Amino acid sequence: MQSFWDAAEHYVSSLKLEGCISIQIQGPSDLDFILEWACMKHEMLYNPAVRPDSRNPDQKVLDEQELITFLETYKTINEDYH
């Protein structure tokens, strides 16, 4: 699990160095809280998805310093057999 935290922090810190100021999330994920934590740590705006599997209806046109990040949820092997 630590690798997810490290990867999210590296992703967000890299975006911050490139000049991004916010991340707009599209789609559901069980790990979005990690991305939210990384954004807070690096003082970037985190805009979560409003509804699963849909475009955020309140999404505005993005500025040059903003990024859309797409998240997905996958079934585990155990979920496929229930």
Q: Where in the sequence is the domain holding 1, given as residue range(s)?
A: 1-25
Q: Tell me whether residue 7 is in a domain.
A: yes
Block residue for tokens 């209806």 = 57
Q: Would you say residue 64 lies in a domain?
A: no
Question: Is 42 inside a domain boundary?
Answer: no
pLDDT above 80: residue 19: yes
76 located within any domain: no
Percent of the chain residues topping a pLDDT of 90: 18
**Residue appearing with tokens 């990867």:** 7
Residue at 80 is within a domain? no
**Residue 2 in domain:** yes
Residue 26's pLDDT is what?
Answer: 72
The count of domains in the chain is 1
The predicted model scores a pTM of: 0.62
Q: Is 18 part of any domain?
A: yes
Q: What is the pLDDT of residue 65?
A: 53
* 69 domain residue, yes or no: no
